[in-house]
Amino acid sequence: MQVTDVSRRSPVFLPPPNGNSHRSPGYVPGRIAPVRSPPPPKTKPSQKPSSDPQQGHTSYSFAVGEQKREQATTQRRRSKNTLVCFAVSLLAFFIVLILMLSLTTREVIDENCPDHNPALSSWNPGHDQQKTVIIRKGDLFRLESSATVNSIIIQKGGVLVFADDTEGFKNITLRTRYILIEDGGVLHIGAAKCRYRSKATITLFGRRDEGEEVPGFGRKFIGVRAGGSLELHGTEKLSWTFLSRTLPSSGLAAGGYSFERNFSRGINLRVLDQDTAEVLVVDRFDTHESKNDSRRLHEFLKSLHPGRIVSLAVGDSAVKSLLDETKRIIADLLGSTFVYNLKYRQAWALVGVIGGGNASCSEDVREHENHDTGGQAVARREFITVDGVRFSVRAYSEWREGFPISGFQVEVVDGVMLHMKDDVQSWNPGDRVIIASTDFSMYQAEEFCLLPCPECNKYQVKIQGKPQFTHVGEIIDAIDMRAEVGVLTRNILIHGEMENSCYGNNWCQFFSYDTFGGHIKILGNFTSVHLSHIELKNMGQQVKGSYPVHFHLCGDVDERGGYRTPTYLEGLAIHHSFSRCVAVHATNGLLIKDSVGYDTLGHCFFLEDGTEQRNTLYHNLGLVTKPGTLLPTDRNDTMCTSIRNKVYGNYIPVPATDCKAVSTFWISHPNNNLISNAAAGSQDTGIWYLFHSMSTGDTHGLSPETKAELTPLGIFYNNRVHSNFKAGLFIDKGVKTTNASAADPREYLCLDNNARFRPHVDADPKKPRAVALIDSLISFKNNDLGAWVRGGDILIKNSGFADNGIGLSFASDGSFPKDIGSSQEVSESLFVGESKNYGTNGGQNKYWGVGGGENKTRTLPRNKTFPIRGFQIYDGPVHLTKSTFKHFIPTSDRYTSAVGFFLKNPWQLTPRNNISSVKFETSVSLKVFFGISGPWFEENELDGDKNSIFHDVDGSVTGYKDAYVGRMDNFLIRHPDCINVTKWNGVICSGRYSQVFIQTWGSQNLSMSIVRDEYPSSPMTLRGINSQRASFQQYQPVVMIGKSYTVHWNGSAPKETVLYLINFDKGDWIQVGLCYPPDTTFQVMSDIYQRQSANFDSMEDYGPASSLEDLQKSMSERKFFFDNSTGLLLIFLHAKHSRDGHSYCSTQGCERVKITATIKSKDTSNCMTKAYPKYSKPPKAIIAMPPRTTTQCSNCGAAKMVFTSDPHKTYLQAQIKSLSKEEIQQGDNESFITVNGEMFSFAESGFFLVIVDACTGKVTKNTLFFQLDAKMEKYLNTGIPQRSIVLLSTRNKQSGFGSISQYLVSLGIAKAADLQIKESFAFFGFRGGVNTSWAKLFTAPAGKKLGLLEKYIPLELEEYGCTKADTPWRKDVELLKKALSKH
């Protein structure tokens, strides 16, 4: 291979100082030293005049002749000097003129632009795939043209800069196997203050099975070693935004239409709504054989309302029985000229408008000859919907190879327009964009190319092709479900050159395509790395360490690491990646901002080893994150069980517990910041926080204590997660940190249930807990869980959950007694069960059925029968407060409840779970559900199922203040005054409740039955939590304080039993009788268990009491009574110490009683037949049931009305309910308009308007017009102020109903709609100089209802003409500043 040392034949010049030893004190990465002339040399000052006074007064006298001669000489000198000055001036003029002319043809030198450095020399290496280029000290090159080389090494002060020009006409492609930058080497394409304007491409070529690897980097890469600088800065573009109007499948709200059939004899007909493009009528009239069909056709055409679009196409033949009257009607109503002369088997197609005449008619005929027409008879007309979408209606008819074919097509014309939330003028025709799914399947994301669109405003673009799926572009049911739209094209492209298919050892059993892309890898001690607005395509490899962008063991890359300009990635478009998006490995302080990661294998934004801290991810979009092979957590089912080279022995991995965790944001340490990111579709999870017990991978053992579990959470604000299969947000678990062995055969770094998040101040468990705040999370359309959060203390607030299998589920930070009783709370949040985002069938959405308040077909999570829950209680303690629920309505297929419980729960539940200040809207018909035997719930008989309970603090759930809600068949918590709620399978009771944690040793696999003495015929049988292989078993029943219970076993009693007092306050007690054989002897003692030290304090022995009465008189003393007649060992569990906050145990530790029994008999220890009726008691309430509340809670529910991903913006909630005459006759009398919850009702027939100032949100007028008269016409034309939101509702059908639409054109609709054939309508519009994306006319024909219509309308927009205020305060920006300031 040829190796070229370019320093031997290059001019010598100095690069900008860089590197550790090379970096000058004033060096700024990306900035080139200014080009200035050298300063003039310093000169000695002239001699001062002499100060001698004699010299100062000396006088000279000259002769007259001498004076004349002197004057002549002086004159000659002056003339000569004048000529010299003139010549110099003329030369200077020409030099300046030449410079000025050159500056008009060439760009002005900019000191910020790397390619403007005059020390650079032009470099055109040509195309030689075998050439290796080394750029060393003294080599400063400006690449002027495309080139191909084997590799480039830039080192020791060498510089490579891509040439650029003002117009951006350069188009340079550099093909190479790799570029290595090290030891003072610099690669520049643009700079932060002088962005590259032309098109630059770096193509990384090569196969995995050819060439030698570069140590530490591998193949096909751009690598940065210590001292290297990589500065890539493309033209700035808005990276991603949201749709502001829903994009329907096909581009038409009514849907596209396509139909083709053979042998459909006669005239085939389609009738369309001219305002919506909806196909209203599909029919066929056999006018060849049936005169009745001919009559039926012309009668039908006469019945159509003027303006309807009619499309006709002949199949086979249509003329034999086609009546003249029918022909006349077709000609008169549709403007046909061919219908009178149709022939046998002649192909004929027509598209016309009823009453439109010849001008509206398009028709065509084709002659039939030898069973062929030689092409199609095609009729086509273009129309526009009331929403402004241009569409075409096409009919065709032909004979082809002996087959008569007819068909119809309705489709959008000239591309589909997208309406965006933000200014997208930086996006250009030819750019590729990706639109995220807004349904359960991430595979509904769609990629398009932008078309030229001269008619678009700055918030609009036009795409080529038609969408297959609906992409929501609005706020629905107060949750922001707008689809993200990212632009994938940049003017700097780095991509891997790929083979046509998979080959070699590239996991071809899983991938049919080549996955060996390029990669960028940065090692520690680099001089500067800043990448902005570049495109990375076909990057990454299914090889460890080879990712599109990989910071590898870089340490601190911000000010803490000595970098004046902290390292950042901004505006990157990473797509069609073969391994991750950005990998951050043992690197801290990195900023990743405004970047898009789309269609990648394995975790996308990836914090690797559990040591990464202080990194900030701000406003990034990740979507379509698919499984990969590298780590167990990347893998799907098939990969998990197939890849077994790192397990021990014959172990077969379990996908559900070892793998299946691929995530768009994989956060391995909590001390990182996530602000305003979107995880818009992953095979498993959107954002996953996990907690490494120690550093892993290359840093394994270097930082043994990461303290991830104890470290406070960084900033989490305004993130959104949707369209993920497993969960939107997941906070739980860790990874296995030991190699596979006989003791644990699982693979290193597989998922592990070994970590619990329990943050403390300074990560010190002896210091107070630090609350982890999840603020402003949006979570929707996640198949399983909107969010799963384990640990504590954790607070979720200002968050919205919609259309998830389960909205939110909390789990405690571990198993008692290790768990010290953390708390979890959700407040000021909204839960929506089944919203008006109905979804689109397809794109791997598996389930489709009826649901929601409108009982419409919709996509479904998990399964058609899956019990949807808004808030799920697992164990606790959890606190749900100040939150709102809407649209939880069960169907015949499934139970849908606002509050539910973990299914098939073997775990404990605490009565400290509490709910307060919640609001259930009228669309919630099942507030709570405890489950029932059947699908998903199975027997509903596990320990946790039976002990499900929560505290209704203020009665906002049940109507009974300070009540507890448990399962209806739980008699441990009941009393006679409890209220059954059969619909919930629940019971409402008063009282005080706690738990007893019963741990048994020496008798495995026992079931325990616990009975309250007041209900001896209703025992609760518990199976225990642990598996059969465990050395001990544990049970945790919920009990009512102040009551007596007995405990029985289905085998021989345990040899050792420990009873912990859980959630007992000081003075609380219960009496417990444990069943033993009569000849048993006991040692009973009490102590206090210290969890932190695992020590036992205050140990006391129990002594025997003489009788039950003696025991009861001294319940606070340490005594027991063994009743030989019944076999019951009776003791009191009596709390002697106070308990703080959410701790399970007292401030002194966990109070417990330990019973060691010497048992001789092996008989079953079930004493119920002997104990009762001896110990039976009449049931009674200790605390009386409270009265039912009669007043509605005024402060319940979330304070916010809308939950968006741009919380700095203000939205107006507007609702309209119009009524048709039919609805009124059916008894519905509520017609109204509401604005931000304020209702404006009207009971009289007419047109009702509410006008709102679009800048302030204040209602300026509401008025009712009984008919469309001159007064109303004048008001619509001139009476509505500029910058006004116009809300219009109707009641009954009044005079002028059909004519009013012409006045709505100036308020936002694209054309006058035909309202004469409608029964009701509602309108959201705007009076101003712009067309808004949210303006919308809703109509309902006879027999249909509009229902309640709702829109969330943005206020204070600049395009409205509102007075531009100061830049609004943005919390996300302030939090970003805060995060970066900590660096």
Residue among 1120, 1063, 1127, 1109 nearest 1086 (CA):
1120
Tokens of 819: 């768990």
Q: What is the pLDDT of residues 1320-1342, one digit of tens each?
A: 999 999 999 899 999 999 999 99
Tokens of 1113: 């008189």
Tokens of 1267: 């008919």
Q: Which positions ≥6 away from 679 have C-beta within 8 Å? A: 622, 623, 663, 664, 665, 685, 686, 687, 719, 720, 721, 722, 724, 728
pLDDT at 225: 98
Q: For residue 611, which amino acid is it? A: T
Residue among 722, 873, 716, 741 nearest 784 (CA):
722
Helical (H) or strand (E) element with 857:
strand 856-859
Tokens of 47: 């001699």
Q: Which of helix, strand or coil describes residue 1372?
A: helix
Is the preceding omega at residue 890 within 30 degrees of 0, hence cis? no
Tokens of 713: 């959470």
pLDDT at 31: 33
Return mean pLDDT, the chain. Answer: 91
pLDDT at 817: 61
Is the preceding omega at residue 404 within 30 degrees of 0, hence cis? no
Tokens of 923: 């669309």
Q: Which positions ≥6 away from 1346 have C-beta within 8 Å? A: 1217, 1218, 1320, 1321, 1322, 1338, 1339, 1340
pLDDT at 36: 31
Q: Which positions ≥6 away from 938 have C-beta within 8 Å? A: 904
CA dist 920 and 1193 (Å) reads: 11
CA dist 783 and 745 (Å) reads: 31
Residue 25 falls in which region: left (phi positive, over 0), alpha (psi -120 to 50) or beta: alpha
Helical (H) or strand (E) element with 1376:
helix 1371-1381
Cα angle: 691, vertex 697, 701; to 5 degrees: 80
Cα angle: 1219, vertex 1220, 1225; to 5 degrees: 100
Return the beta strands (E) in 385-491 as ranges.
390-400, 403-412, 416-419, 432-435, 446-451, 460-463, 475-476, 479-480, 484-487
Q: What is the pLDDT of residues 742-761, one digit of tens each?
A: 999 999 999 999 888 999 99
pLDDT at 105: 44
Helical packing angle, 291-303 and 324-334, nearest 10°:
30
pLDDT at 700: 79
CA dist 623 and 728 (Å) reads: 12
CA dist 1269 and 1277 (Å) reads: 12
pLDDT at 50: 38
CA dist 463 and 447 (Å) reads: 9
Hunting for tokens 């005169």 — which residue is that? Answer: 291
CA dist 761 and 793 (Å) reads: 12
Q: By the 8 A CB rule, do 983 and 974 touch?
A: no
- Residues pairing with 552 in the sheet: 523, 585
CA dist 1195 and 1279 (Å) reads: 38
Residue among 1102, 946, 1127, 1116 nearest 1023 (CA):
946
Residue among 557, 515, 488 nearest 224 (CA):
557
Helical (H) or strand (E) element with 71:
helix 64-105
Cα angle: 127, vertex 132, 136; to 5 degrees: 115
pLDDT at 1031: 79
Q: By the 8 A CB rule, do 989 and 980 touch?
A: no
Q: Which positions ≥6 away from 990 have C-beta within 8 Å? A: 960, 962, 963, 964, 975, 977, 978, 1181, 1183, 1184, 1185, 1186
Q: For residue 701, which amino acid is it? A: G
Is the preceding omega at residue 698 within 30 degrees of 0, hence cis? no
Q: Is 959 exposed, middle or buried (0-12, 13-18, 19+ CB in 10 A)?
A: middle
The full 3-state SS of 1310-1339, as one line of letters, equals CCCCCCCCCCEEEEEEEECCCCCCCCEEEE
Which stretches of the chain drop beneath a pLDDT of 70? 1-107, 703-704, 814-821, 1004, 1028, 1092, 1365, 1383
CA dist 1307 and 1302 (Å) reads: 10
Cα angle: 653, vertex 659, 663; to 5 degrees: 170
Q: Compute how many other C-beta atoms are within 10 angstroms of the C-beta atom of residue 430.
A: 11
Q: Compute how many other C-beta atoms are within 10 angstroms of the C-beta atom of residue 318.
A: 33
Q: By the 8 A CB rule, do 1256 and 1238 touch?
A: no
Q: Is 864 exposed, middle or buried (0-12, 13-18, 19+ CB in 10 A)?
A: middle
The strand pair at 390-400 and 377-384 is best described as antiparallel
Rg (CA), the chain: 40
Q: Strands across the sheet with 1246-1253, in order? A: 1259-1265, 1246-1253, 1284-1291, 1320-1327, 1336-1340
Q: Is 1365 exposed, middle or buried (0-12, 13-18, 19+ CB in 10 A)?
A: exposed
Tokens of 54: 């004699």
CA dist 1131 and 1074 (Å) reads: 9
